[in-house]
Amino acid sequence: MDLATRPYRSVLYIPGSKTRALEKARSLQTDAIIFDLEDAVAPEAKAEARETLKDALQQDGYGKRAKIVRINALTSQWGFEDVRVLRDVGADIFLLPKVNTPTDVDALADLLEPSMPIWVMMETPTCVFNAPEIAAHHRVAGLVTGTNDLTKDLGCRYRPDRLPLMTALQRIVMAARATRGVVAIDGVYNRFRDGDGLKAECEQGRDLGFDGKTLIHPMQIDVTNTAFAPSASEVDLARRQIAAFEDGQASGQGVAVVDGQIVENLHVVAAKRTLAKVDAIAQMAAE
């Protein structure tokens, strides 16, 4: 599936060390998987996890799910070996943690094939300040918000409304949108058995403009896929807006009115984007 137009509603972390979870993910309805070698894997388990993950990726069976490998930072003792072992085993994307500047991205870009897209963890205050330059790096295709690391570094509190993180969240979305085609993924929801809390946070992230959310547990997938997909009423409205605008144009009108709201060309662009997203989701579901 074309990486640029595919959906990224649900992006599930799987510790590279957990064979059962690596197996289970082959049948989960997640749009993308982050195979993690970093924070989810203990230092003493790093070497084994690398080999376990290599086997899983070579075996494949992950279908259309985007396969994203999160390596350890290149400043750690594991990062270079992670790249060496995993660069040619079928990953679609490499995800780099603890990035502060575009130069950090160069270090990974130099080790990978030029066609391999790089996603960046946005999880330090310096990284968030440098977000526009990082998103504009020619190898960067996605930004993943690391809300737990950001919360730690900022010394802020966890709040259901995420007010302490709002500047960072919005800056990440803005940086992605200022560069064409860069994907923006929201951080994880830690209370993974709290479906109502997750739903509220998904809807907040969606309303802010994120393409999807990172997840830590399979039970979070359905809620997230629904929240980040256009609803039936949004699809219906989009279709009617396009039709009304085209009718208007045929009779020489530059604007139309639907449900008491003005429809200009820019609304039609947004409506077409909604329909394209529905198509991409349908393609993902089709076998």
- Reference 215, options 9, 13, 26, 32; nearest CA is 13
Q: How far, in Å, are 5, 21, 23, 58, 184 from residue 14 at the CA level?
A: 23, 7, 10, 16, 19
Dihedral (C-alpha) 94, 74, 180, 128: value to the nearest 10 degrees?
130
Angle of CA points 163, 167, 170, to nearest 5°: 105
* Given 32, 40, 144, 182, the residue binding ligand COA (CB under 6 A): 40
Is 146 a binding residue for Mg ion by CB under 5 A? The answer is yes
Using CB under 6 A, which residues numbered 214 to 253 contact ligand COA? 216-218
How many angstroms separate the CA atoms of 220 and 84, rounded? 32
For Mg ion, how many residues bind (rule: CB under 5 A)? Answer: 3
Using CB distances below 5 to 8 A depending on partner kind, what does residue 149 bind out of ligand COA, Mg ion, none?
Answer: Mg ion
* β-strand partners of 34: 13, 68
Counting contacts by CB under 6 A, is residue 62 touching ligand COA?
no
**Nearest distance in Å: CB 24, ligand COA:** 4
- Kindly state whether residue 24 participates in binding ligand COA, applying the rule CB under 6 A: yes
CA dihedral of residues 9, 150, 103, 105 (deg, nearest 10): -30
25 binds, among Mg ion, ligand COA, none (CB under 5 to 8 A by kind): ligand COA
Choose which of 21, 109, 184, 229 interacts with ligand COA (CB under 6 A): 21
Tell me which stretch binds Mg ion (CB under 5 A): 55-63, 79-87, 123-131, 234-242: 123-131
Q: How far is the CB of 13 from ligand COA (least distance, A)?
A: 3
Which amino acid would we find at residue 9?
A: R
Q: Is 188 in the site for ligand COA (CB under 6 A)?
A: yes
Report 148-177 residues binding ligand COA (CB under 6 A): none
By C-beta, is 144 or 284 nearer to Mg ion?
144
Nearest Cα to 16, choosing from 34, 1, 3, 31?
Answer: 34
CA atoms of 36 and 16, how far apart (whole Å): 5
Q: Which of 8, 11, 25, 134 binds ligand COA (CB under 6 A)?
A: 25
Span near ligand COA by CB under 6 A; candidates 151-159, 165-173, 211-219, 273-281: 211-219
**Could you give phi then psi for residue 93, rounded to 5 degrees?**
-150, 145
Residues 6+ apart with CB under 8 A from 68: 11, 32, 33, 34, 35, 91, 92, 93, 94, 95, 119
**15 touching ligand COA, by CB under 6 A:** yes
By CB under 6 A, name the binding residues for ligand COA. 12-15, 20-21, 24-25, 36, 39-40, 188, 192, 216-218
By CB under 5 A, name the binding residues for Mg ion. 123, 146, 149
